[in-house]
Amino acid sequence: MRWTQYFIVTSKETPKDATAASHRLMLRTGMVRQLAAGIYSYLPLGYRSLRKVEEIVREEMQRAGAIELMMPILHPIDLWEETNRVAAMGDVLLRLGGPEGDWRASMVLGPTHEEVITEIARAYLKSYKQLPINLYQIQLKFRGEARPKSGVLRTREFLMKDAYSFHDSVESLDEGYQKMYDAYCRIFSRCGLPYAPVEAESGPIGGDASHEFMVLTDAGEDVVALTENKDYAANTERAVCAPLAQDNAEMKAIEEVHTPNQRTIDEVTAFLKTSPSQMIKTLVYTGTPPSTGKKTDAPAEPAIFVALVRGDHDANENKLNRAAGKAWAAASGGDGASISLELADEGTIKRLTGADVGFAGPHTLGKSGVPYFLIVDQAVSVMRNAATGANKTDYHAVNVNPVRDFAINGERAIVADIRNVVDGDLSPKGSGSPIRLRKAIEVGHVFKLGTKYSDAMGATYLDKNGKAKTLIMGCYGIGLNRIMASAIESNHDENGIMWPMSIAPFQVLVVALDPRDDEVMQTAANIHDALETAGVDTLLDDRDERAGFKFKDADLIGIPVRITVGRKALADGVVEVKLRTSEDIEKIAPDAAIERAKSLAYAGLVTA
RNA sequence: CGGGGUGUAGCUCAGCCUGGUAGAGCGCUUGCUUUGGGAGCAAGAAGUCGUCAGUUCGAAUCUGGCCACCCCGACCA
């Protein structure tokens, strides 16, 4: 491809709205152009890269035995009602709109395709002989992201590879899951990404039912916990750590301290001259337990759940919701399913504590007579002589001790892990290796769904005995745009992008320094043609521009191999071969340069 | 959804406070010079100043509504 006949629009200016490196470079290199918030056009250079990512994904999916199909972007909303996800997705689900009764009013843009694939499975996967099977597509998704950001890292429209597997046993699902897991590793390796699979919030099956594939970079929105010895990796939404050891300090007598207007942890620790790690944070939540569906049809009443975490720790919503379910089940029966909690309003807190907001504590909480469940974080359960609120406006208590001063195990009290891990916590594997927190971009997610959708939609097959069984499912997603952006996040310098060979828009750039010099142009064109013939994606910079200008552009768009053809060097019978990632310049004959570029291009593709 | 900010040429921005016929740099077009790390000179093309209303003889500029975009937070199958 000749530059002058192609469409490349680079810019010297740094766009004002771009903060993430990938966003800035994708705009400067003219790979994408924003049309609206979270909505981008892929210009030719960017689209070439995206297509290469797509092709790698497709190859590895096929290698893993998955079968490609394509499902619609427009879905009837009824389908989403079947699985109750219209409510669950909320504003994320984009509706087409239109007047009542109009067909448009009953259409949504697909944010994912579990419902559509399950509808297909329900119709056609009727026999165990058809299982297992893995169907995938590469298709646009639409989500009403509240806040698109960081260029193509978080958008309202994006390209996703989504695969769905169907099985007749949990063992078969495990196998299918492992195949996808392995395929994902190959895909991200081939794309040149420094990735890490981490345990993610697990699905209905529990255990290791879900892994996210993360690219470690500060531009990411997720935080992952990795131990130094690499024996544990998890998203902080899920990460656990070794329990903290019991503090054995001698228990002192409780004292109340007048703390006028000192409400926050920072204020109180400064006032009491203690540290947040010696404080107990008392968080009051409300949540509605599942109606047990027994005698009465009365709607379940919201219950109060009090969570205790150390002053320097944050409560983890998922863990807390699960613990609330357990606490409820222990006291009232039920299946222990998690309960979605919300922070209590001011009135509830006042009623419970008898004090203004900011002075709650566990030891005198029962005196108001308002019933509540107590969930004590493991780190709190081992504290000694802690400071906390006194349930009395403008007073805190010091030397509060779990067990002695408030029950941590009982009919309405449990100890659980309900906090986020922090940097320095120890590996849950018992190795003693410290956990480090790193920011990361989620580029892929593999998930054991179980029968969540097949149950809801009645997707069954007949087993060997002719009995109807519910299909067991897995689902596996990859964000293609995110692969591109995170490849740039991980491979760039102050001059521009440094593409991995496998997903570079072109593999080789031939720079003709004096395009009006016949010999130079002829040589450059020959190199270009020979490489193209050999199947190497080659761009020939034939613009009549100054050398510096062209080199700056070359560094910016980051094509891995650069061959410079200039008048002076050509007089000595050589051209220059240079890698984007190195300052070294190799001066060799044009024919040798062709061979060199070929082997570099081929070598860069077989990293899998 | 809460808080903050910005809308003027394809891009980056000035002009607004103190109202009076639209500016610069980059990019683009033409010519000459230059030619190994984003060249110089000259001449050009290009903007309903986000939008609607109001104030005024007169609004990019003052006032109000709306819209869009960005950042922080909340949220994220």
Q: What is the ipTM of this complex?
A: 0.93
Nearest nt by C1' to A28 Cα = B11
Distance A36 CA to B18 C1' (A): 37
Is the domain of A153 the same as that of A27?
A: yes
Name the protein residue, with chain letter, whose CA is nearest the C1' of B13: A16
Nucleotide nearest to A237 (CA to C1'): B76
Distance from C-alpha of A65 to C-alpha of A480, rounded to nearest angstrom = 20
- pLDDT at residue A330 in the model: 83
Check whether residue A447 and residue A556 sit in a common domain: no
Q: How far is the CA of A155 from the C1' of B68 (A)?
A: 17
Q: Which nucleotide is nearest to A88 (CA to C1')?
A: B77
- For the CA of A103 and the C1' of B1, the distance in angstroms is 30
Residue A421, in any domain of the structure = no
Tell me, what's the pLDDT at A98?
79
Mean residue pLDDT of chain A comes to 92
Do A409 and A443 lie in one domain? The reply is no
For the segment A239-244, the average pLDDT, to the nearest whole number, is 95
Which CA-bearing residue is nearest the C1' of B38?
A: A549
For residue A11, which nucleotide's C1' is closest to its Cα? B11
pLDDT digits (tens, 9 = 90+) for A515-546: 899 999 999 999 999 999 999 999 999 999 99
Residue A357: band (very low, low, confident or very high) from pLDDT cuts 50, 70, 90: confident
A324 and A363 in a common domain: yes
Kindly state whether residues A341 and A448 are assigned to the same domain: no
Q: List the nucleotides on chain B closer than 7 A to a protein CB.
A: 1, 11-13, 25-27, 34-39, 68-77
Indicate if the pLDDT at residue A472 is higher than 70.
yes
- Point out the nucleotide closest to A147 (alpha carbon to C1′): B75
pLDDT over 70 at A291, yes or no: no
- Tell me: pLDDT of A608 over 50: no
Q: Which nucleotide is nearest to A445 (CA to C1')?
A: B77
At A280, give phi and psi (nearest 5°). Answer: -105, 120
A518 lies in the same domain as A480: no
Sequence-distant (6+) residues with CB within 8 A of A464 are A128
- How many Å apart are A546 CA and B30 C1'? 19
Q: CB within 8 A of A109, min separation 6: which ones?
A: A73, A74, A75, A93, A94, A95, A96, A142
CA atoms lying within 13 Å on the CB side of residue A116: 22
Distance A405 CA to B50 C1' (A): 63
Would A484 be classed as within a structural domain?
Answer: yes
Mean pLDDT lowest among A195-199, A206-210, A307-311, A441-445: A206-210
CA closest to C1' of B1 belongs to A146
Give the gyration radius of chain A's Cα atoms.
30
Domain shared by A512 and A388, yes or no: no
Task: List the beta bridge partners of residue A154.
Answer: A149
Nearest-angstrom CA–CA distance, A302 and A554 = 63
**Nearest residue (Cα to C1') for B70?**
A17
The nucleotide closest to A574 (CA, C1' atoms): B36
Q: Using the structure, give the distance in angstroms from the CA atom of A516 to the C1' atom of B40, rounded to a whole number.
A: 21
pLDDT of A205: 53
Q: Give a yes or no: residue A85 inside a domain.
A: no
Domain presence at residue A35 = yes
Chain center to CA of A420 = 17
> Last residue of some domain: A365, A382, A416?
A416
Instruction: List the domain range (segments joined by +) for residue A594.
Output: 506-603
CA-to-C1' span, A547 to B37 (A): 7
Q: What percent of chain A has pLDDT above 70?
A: 97
Q: Which nucleotide is nearest to A14 (CA to C1')?
A: B12
CA-nearest of A72, A12, A78, A57 to A456 is: A78
Whether A186 maps to a domain, the answer reads: yes
The burial of A293, by beta-carbon neighbours within 10 Å (0-12 exposed, 13-18 middle, 19 or more buried), is given as exposed
**pLDDT surpasses 90 at A286:** no
Same structural domain, A32 and A118:
yes
Q: In chain A, what is the straight-line distance between the N-terminal and C-terminal CA atoms, in Å? A: 28
- Measure, in angstroms, how far nucleotide B22 C1' is from residue A155 CA: 37
Q: Which nucleotide minimizes the distance between its C1' and the CA of A29?
A: B11
Residue A7 (CA) to nucleotide B42 (C1'), in angstroms, measures 30
**In this predicted model, what pLDDT tens digit does every residue of A378-409 receive, in sequence order?**
999 999 999 999 999 999 999 999 999 999 99
Å between CA of A573 and C1' of B38: 29
Nearest residue: Cα versus C1' of B72: A147
- In this prediction, residues A232-254 reach a mean pLDDT of 94
SS3 A226: strand
> Mind listing the pLDDT tens digit for each residue in A124-159?
999 999 999 999 999 999 999 988 988 999 999 999
Residues A192 and A300 in one domain: no
Say yes or no: A188 and A236 in one domain.
yes
Tell which of A383, A416, A449 closes a domain: A416
Whether A426 maps to a domain, the answer reads no
A296 vs A566, residue with greater confidence: A566
Nearest nucleotide over every DNA/RNA strand to the A549 CA, judged by C1': B38
Element (H, E) at A343: strand A341-343
Burial-class residue A280 by CB neighbours within 10 Å (0-12, 13-18, 19+).
Answer: buried
CATH number (domain holding residue A570): 3.40.50.800
Distance A154 CA to B71 C1' (A): 15
Q: Please give the average per-residue pLDDT across A60-69, as a whole number.
A: 98
Q: Using the structure, give the distance in angstroms from the CA atom of A100 to the C1' atom of B65, rounded to a whole number.
A: 29
Of the ranges A207-221, A293-307, A421-435, which one carries the lowest mean pLDDT score?
A: A293-307
The pLDDT score that the predictor gives to residue A530 is 98
Instruction: Indicate the residue among A425, A455, A488 that finishes a domain.
Output: A488
Which residue has its C-alpha nearest to nucleotide B73's C1'?
A: A147
Residue A165 lies in a domain: yes
Nucleotide nearest to A511 (CA to C1'): B36
Q: Which of A201-210, A531-540, A542-551 has the lowest mean pLDDT?
A: A201-210
Answer yes or no: are the C-beta atoms of A17 and A444 closer than 8 Å: no
Task: Let me know if residue A359 belongs to a domain.
Answer: yes
> A562 and A473 in one domain?
no
Looking at residues A106-110, what average pLDDT do you find? 94
In a shared domain, residues A364 and A409: yes
- Phi, psi (degrees; rounded to nearest 5) at A167: -140, 160
Q: How far is the CA of A439 from the C1' of B37 (A)?
A: 35
State mean pLDDT over A53-75.
97
Q: What pLDDT score was predicted for residue A328? A: 86
* pLDDT for position A317: 86
CATH at residue A320? 3.90.960.10
Count how many domains chain A has: 3
Q: How far is the CA of A128 from the C1' of B12 (A)?
A: 63
Residue with minimal CA–C1' distance to B36 is A547
